[in-house]
Amino acid sequence: MTDSPPAATSAPRSLAIVGGGPAGLMAAQEALSTGVAVTLYESRPSVGRKFLIAGRGGLNLTHSEPFDRFRHRYREAESRLRPYLEAFDASAVVRWCEGLGIDTFVGTSGRVFPTDFKAAPLLRAWLHELRAAGLQIRVRHRFTGFAGDRGPRFDTPEGPVTVTPGAVILACGGASWPHLGSDGAWVGPLGEAGIPVSPLRPANCGFEVAWSEHFAQRHAGHPVKSVTASASEQDGRVTQATGELMITATGIEGGLVYQLSAPLREAIERDGQAELTLDLTPGRSVEHLTGALNRPRGKKSLARHLEAAAGLGGVKAGLLREVLTANQMEDASLLASTIKALPLSLHATRPIDEAISTAGGVAFSGLDEHLMLKDLPGVFCAGEMLDWEAPTGGYLLTACFATGVAAARGAVEWLSRQPKDAAV
């Protein structure tokens, strides 16, 4: 995409969107469908960069689970996000995608993907439709705040630019992908404008564990498959998930960990550490394991006996040795109970720029039901810069799409009520 020359604009029926990610692009599509003139401003040389990165391992668009389960993935923000998710739910995401000529399918886990798993064809089709509808894109425009008339300011290669459209949608992303433009730099300008912003923290992130040097050297990069992980919520409830995690030199990461990252992060923030409990053999009872481990092992080593009796070797056996002494490993009852509830002490999250997404952002208390900033009338917010989080599995994209649609509808309605000569 070529850069476009900066130009100050002022038009009552025009909308400026700041941020070329999924929320910003979806807001543009919704607004363009009503006849509003839309210009999108992106800090990077092209739009949709994080969208493309998200699709490298297969673009997970949304999830097919029932809505009552789906909405609870958003934790404390569920009640605020629910009306937007109801208005643009998983089925709407599928219809939108297929409307661009991209077929979808539901995987065995319930996740929804394009049939070719790729993000690039979808993004190309989407941008083609948006340009055909009249979208103007200005790249290399870095948002720096608001001018006195509440118009957004940008740094550009040609110098500072201020625009004065009829309404503005901020869709600037979080802070977990700084090299792609999601660097959280908008927090300062919004704070200066008096907008309440919760601190940005890592979500869907890895955690640090004080491994022994031997374990880290031997098992870093190894997956721990088919385990159930448990973490306690602040109210005492226990959240569980089953899947796979990855051992790193500094701790753990992976899809199973990401599903529990919110309660684990909150425990670290509250108590200075968190405990993740692993069931290394889901489906086998502690009684069955105790009986198997109590059988005479003859001349077999403990490692061979553990593998024969419990099916545990490699990294799983290594995890047991991280929490039990050599003498404790000889106690069949203790060994069995640890296999079923192995405690891992997590002492920190990995840095925010390693996370898949972020928690925190513009507080809902500062927004009306249309996602308009109460202290900046005519300025709306959407996407990951809002104060919500969700696990991976299609929930992140769906909420970005849904809030983009909601902000656009709010902006269009706002514009319809303004005098013809009004601007932000």
In three-state secondary structure terms, 212 is coil
Instruction: Determine phi and psi for 288, rounding to 5 degrees.
Output: -65, -45
pLDDT at 7 over 80: no
Mean pLDDT of 218-246: 95
pLDDT at 9 over 80: no
pLDDT band for 79, please (50, 70, 90 cuts).
very high
Fold classification of 10-203+356-416 (topology level)? FAD/NAD(P)-binding domain (3.50.50)
Identify which has the larger pLDDT, 9 or 337.
Answer: 337
Positive or negative CA dihedral for 93, 130, 16, 165?
negative
Instruction: Determine phi and psi for 103, rounding to 5 degrees.
Output: -75, 155
Tokens of 148: 């006195």
- Please tell me the predicted confidence (pLDDT) of residue 177: 86
**Which whole-number Å values give the CA distances from 68 to 71, 85, 262, in the listed order?**
6, 11, 20
Neighbour count for residue 123 (Cβ, 10 Å): 21
The residue whose two tokens read 């029932």 is: 66
Mean pLDDT of 246-251: 98
Helices (H), 145-250: 187-192, 213-219
Q: Which of 38, 387, 62, 22 is nearest to 181 (CA)?
A: 22
Mean pLDDT of 42-63: 90
Identify which has the larger pLDDT, 189 or 419.
Answer: 189
- Please tell me the predicted confidence (pLDDT) of residue 423: 53
Q: Could you report the per-residue pLDDT of 90-114, keeping only the tens digit for each?
A: 999 999 999 999 999 999 999 999 9
pLDDT at 2 over 50: no
Can you spell out the DSSP letters for 16-36? EEE--SHHHHHHHHHHHTTT-
Helical packing angle, 22-32 and 395-416, nearest 10°: 40
pLDDT band for 4, please (50, 70, 90 cuts).
very low
Mean pLDDT of 151-167: 95
- Please tell me the predicted confidence (pLDDT) of residue 54: 79
Query: Is the distance from CB of 80 to CB of 58 less than 8 angstroms?
Result: no
Mean pLDDT of 3-26: 75
Mean pLDDT for all residues in the chain: 93
- Please tell me the predicted confidence (pLDDT) of residue 242: 95
CA–CA gap between residue 19 and residue 47 (Å, rounded): 8
- Please tell me the predicted confidence (pLDDT) of residue 50: 86
Identify which has the larger pLDDT, 346 or 7.
Answer: 346
97 Cβ neighbours under 8 A, 6+ residues apart: 61, 104, 114, 122
Neighbour count for residue 404 (Cβ, 10 Å): 31
- Please tell me the predicted confidence (pLDDT) of residue 110: 96
Positive or negative CA dihedral for 246, 248, 218, 315?
negative
pLDDT band for 418, please (50, 70, 90 cuts).
confident
Q: Work out the percent of the chain whose per-residue pLDDT is above 70.
A: 96
Mean pLDDT of 323-328: 96
- Please tell me the predicted confidence (pLDDT) of residue 215: 98
Min mean pLDDT across 261-265, 295-299, 339-343 is at: 295-299
- Please tell me the predicted confidence (pLDDT) of residue 207: 98
Domain ranges of the chain: 10-203+356-416, 207-349
Query: Is the distance from CB of 203 to CB of 262 less than 8 angstroms?
Result: yes
Q: Which of 210, 202, 281 is nearest to 248 (CA)?
A: 210
CA–CA gap between residue 235 and residue 178 (Å, rounded): 34
Mean pLDDT of 241-266: 96
pLDDT at 5 over 60: no
CA–CA gap between residue 235 and residue 76 (Å, rounded): 13
Mean pLDDT of 317-340: 96
Q: Please, what is the end-to-end C-alpha distance for the chain in angstroms? A: 29
CA–CA gap between residue 16 and residue 376 (Å, rounded): 14
396 Cβ neighbours under 8 A, 6+ residues apart: 204, 356, 357, 384, 390
pLDDT band for 147, please (50, 70, 90 cuts).
confident
Q: Work out the percent of the chain whose per-residue pLDDT is above 90.
A: 88
- Please tell me the predicted confidence (pLDDT) of residue 302: 92
69 Cβ neighbours under 8 A, 6+ residues apart: none
pLDDT at 1 over 70: no
pLDDT at 6 over 50: no
